[in-house]
Structures are given as structure tokens and as C-alpha cells.
Amino acid sequence: MHNNLKTKLCGMSLNSPIVLLSGCVGFGEEYTRIQGFSNKNVGAVCLKGTTLEPRLGNISHRVCETPNGMINAIGLQNPGADVVINDIMPRLDKAETRFIINISGSSVQEYEEITKRFDDTDIDAIEINISCPNIKEGGVTFGNDPDMSYRVVEACRQNTTKPIITKLSPNQTDIAHSAQCCIDAGTDGLAVINTLMGMAIDTSSRRPVIGNNQGGLSGSAIKPVALLKVHQVYQVSKKHNIPIIGQGGIMSANDAIEFIIAGAATIGVGTALFYNPLVCHKINDGISQYLINNNLNSVNELVGTLELNPVISPCNQK
């Protein structure tokens, strides 16, 4: 691994700025079976979304390919927190990389309980998925309401001493305001962004392809949106020294570099793994070479170095 790729995230020392995203590598064992893959090539692995009790997930189809991306609506299928803690986590090889658990809940109380359970484990950090609907509040999604986001992060903060990373939804009016609320509530990091909501239609049946009718759109199609959201959130997070995991359509080293320039301390790779499971090695090489070419000693020196163009209001133009 290149020495100039070593970085930190919420106090964790990482070999690489790459974080494998939740839902794309299961519980960390799927990709380690691929010949040529090594956890040494990634800084951290974010495990599959986990709820307090087991969930079967949504009806099929759960995944479909779209132009420059994919839509998924898995429905948080998972065996529940106790199985993950007692059966899955002991099998993880923690010598080569860091592991982050992604948690979800349908009430503030569920977030509290699941956070408490993982606080008693050797997991390195906890990522909060606040894109779930709050059943007790009529199904309003936590992540689309800044006040609800605050309540969830605050509840988790009170129940763990581990680093907390909050995954922000792009499906809201003011993501920077939401980021500030999460920072005020005690988050240690921010993941920007979660998937955009999308739909695909089967013209033969005139029905949605996805069994859940709609799902989360990921892949290179959402990259321009994700870049802007990272830039917007960075304007808030840099004031508090809160790191960002930039994610959304990163398929190459150049994509990753764009996110770092926009303000991401680390970058998340997900959908790209479906196209090329060994893409992380190429991304690492590309970032390292870019740093060398630009006389930079570390990824941190590149974070947030975006220089905006001067903007002239149309009203002032002659």
C-alpha cells in the first residue's frame, strides 16, 4: 500500500481513503473470496445495514440496472443485531482493515437499543442510516427531517462511546442544515450521500420493475449531485473538523479525487464493485500518483482545496 494514502477517519487510522459501502459487500466476507482482492486495499468496510430484529426484506425484483447506474430496494434484509454480533463479527479479519456497522431503526428507541448492543462489541465505528421511516411518527423518514435526524443522532450518542458516522439523505431541501443538526447532536463524521430515489418501468406490463415500486438510485448517474452535496456539507463540517465520507458514483481514481477536492476526507466505493470487484486497487494507484504529481504528501492536503469560479449576477451584467 502507498504510504501517501494513509489517513484518519473519526480517530481511526486507515491504510487507504477507500471505504467499502454498506449493502455492497454484505457482512464483509463476500469480496474476500474473490481472487486478487485484499482488505489491505481499503481503509474500512461498512457492513450491511442491521436492525434490532431480523428482516426478510422486500419482494422481488430488488435490483435493476439503469443507464449509468442501478436501483435497489433490498428492504434491509438482515439476520438481526444479535446474530451479527455473536455469529458474524467473530469471523471478521480485523488485522487488515477497520469495520463499521450500519444500523437502522423504525423508532428512536430502536436506534438507542441497537447502538447500545454494538457499543459492547469490538466494532470500530457505527454508521447511522437515517433514511428509514419513523413508524411512530406516521412513516416520515428520519433523514428528511432535520429535527428527527437530531433526535436519532442524539439518542445514539448517549448510548455509545464509539465514533458515530451519520449517513445523510440527498432527498431533502437543505442538506447543509441537516448536517449541522447532526453535528450539534454529536456525530463524529458524515457520509454524503445516500442514494437518490428513483423508478424504472417495464413497458410490457406497465408496472415498476422494482417490487417495492421505487428504490435507491446509485452509480455514476448520481455523481454530479453527490459532488455538489459534499461541497455544500463541507462548508458546515469544516468549521467543526467533522470528516466526510464522500460517496455517490465513484467509479475511478479521478472520480475519487474530485470528491476529495470537494471536501471528502475519505471516499466510499459501492456500485463500482459490481462492475469490477478489484477496482479499489486502481483507485488507490490513481490517487497516489495524483498526489505525487502535485507534490502533495497526503490525502489530507488535498481535502477541500476546491477553488470556486467567480460568479457574476446576471443583473449586474451589461
Q: Which grid coordinates are listed for 307?
A: 477553488
Q: Which grid coordinates are listed for 122?
A: 469490538
Q: What Å distances lie between residue 225 and 6, 212, 277, CA to CA? A: 27, 24, 24
Q: What Å distances lie between residue 161 and 79, 86, 95, 122, 191, CA to CA? A: 25, 20, 22, 12, 19
- Clarify whether 10 is annotated catalytic: no
**Which stretch of DSSP H or E encloses residue 14?**
strand 12-14
Produce one character per residue of 166-187: b if its CB has 16 or more CB atoms within 10 Å, e if not.
bbbbbbbeebbebbbbbbebbb
Q: Choosing from 132, 156, 181, 182, which is the catalytic residue?
A: 132
Are 237 and 187 within 8 A, CB to CB?
A: no
Q: To which residue does cell 447502538 refer?
A: 115
C-alpha span between 260 and 148 (Å, rounded): 29
Q: List the catalytic residues.
A: 132
